[in-house]
Structure 1
Amino acid sequence: MNAFDTTIQTYLIHIAPASGFFAQAVSVLADFYLFKGVLPLAILYAIWFKQGNSLEYRREMVVATLLSAMVAFVVGRLLALFLPFRLRPIYDAGLGLNFPGASHASNHLRLWSSLPSDHAALWMAVAVGIFLVWRWIGVLAVLQCVLFICLPRVYLGLHYPTDVLAGALIGAAVVAVLTRTRLRESFAPYVVRFMERRPAVGYMLAFLLFFEFATMFDEPRLLALSLFKRL
């Protein structure tokens, strides 16, 4: 654990209220889909349907943002698999830190490397994508990602500060690249036109996609893990 991680993680634990209620509230923030993904995804819906002269551009940006979030999530997962394994702080007794809720931590996370945070990668990509289209709402989306997704996971010991920082940088970098005009126009208009021509099928698929985003692809990941164990 480097000095940067040590300073921030120790500071967060010691300045937080010592009550069990506060720790439980932070756990709720970290686990509830409403606080993690439903809100920024709802903003993307608002951007998609908001009327105005830039409707086509905004819809292309929504498509590019969703693709960016998916790519950032996959990149985060691949880096976690191929970079040197990093034990999550909640399982490292050598740190000497008493993380709230450590006794209730899920054991399956012990096998998943801490670096980088796929939560930070995915939701920061969405937040930055919103910012590129709708500035002041985007600022709120970035703050929501930091305060409701990144900081709770550091406070609870699920990640080191550098884990969420790396994930956030991955998300921001991917969306900055995929939303550039030349690259965005190579794929996004086709999706927008499909949605306009086949709205019944298109919005059905969009609902399914948004559901998987909101739940962080939990079911496909569990299915993939089960199949991997049987091979």
Structure 2
Amino acid sequence: MQRPPFRADHVGSFLRPARLLAARERFFAKALPDAELRAIEDECIREVVRAQENVGLKGITDGEFRRTYFHVDFLERLEGVETHYGEFVAKFRKDDGAEVGFKPPTMHVESKVRHAQSIQGADFDFLKSVATRMPKVCIPAPSMLHFRGGRQAISASVYPDMEEFFADLTAAYRDEVADLAARGCRYLQLDDTNLAYLCDPKIRASTVARGDDPD
């Protein structure tokens, strides 16, 4: 099997099929059992795997079809991490100049960060079972647990020294990477989607104002 990096590649996220979007809506409305949602996800993942292989891609992902948010689904499964909503406002400008705003979740660290369970393991196992080429996993970079909330989102009573926080976070990621490697994962990408925000002067200014260096 050819090893990465590949000449043509992708991060991994694909548009969700309509039936998957409908199933997830029913699931969150408590109208669809977890096992039935999983079965629909499996079916859609088989299809997106075939589509990638049919166009000749070498690194094959599950389309991130099991995720609600790229980063939240992963980070909130670390022990010590809680999800808060409505604290961080992101704005985008459309082609016609109109602004569109939304409030993505912010992660808060409220106890010691630990890797208490495999996070991507079961999803990778399924992907590996249906892909005939290199199965690829993309996870949020560790910095995504810190960037949006900054120091205020990291409990000072739990982590009076930020170096201890980063050490624990590093250890948790090391355990997850080791688990994936043991399952046969040979193509893992860490992606920091917050880096694009640092092109915005307003976000750079707010980062400086809270005491962090955007560079």
Q: Please classify the TM superposition score into its range, dividing by the shorter chain length.
A: under 0.3
- More strand as a share of residues: 2
TM-score (norm 2): 0.26
TM-score (norm 1): 0.24
- More helix as a share of residues: 1
- By relative contact order (CA 8 Å, sep 6+), the higher-ranking structure is 1
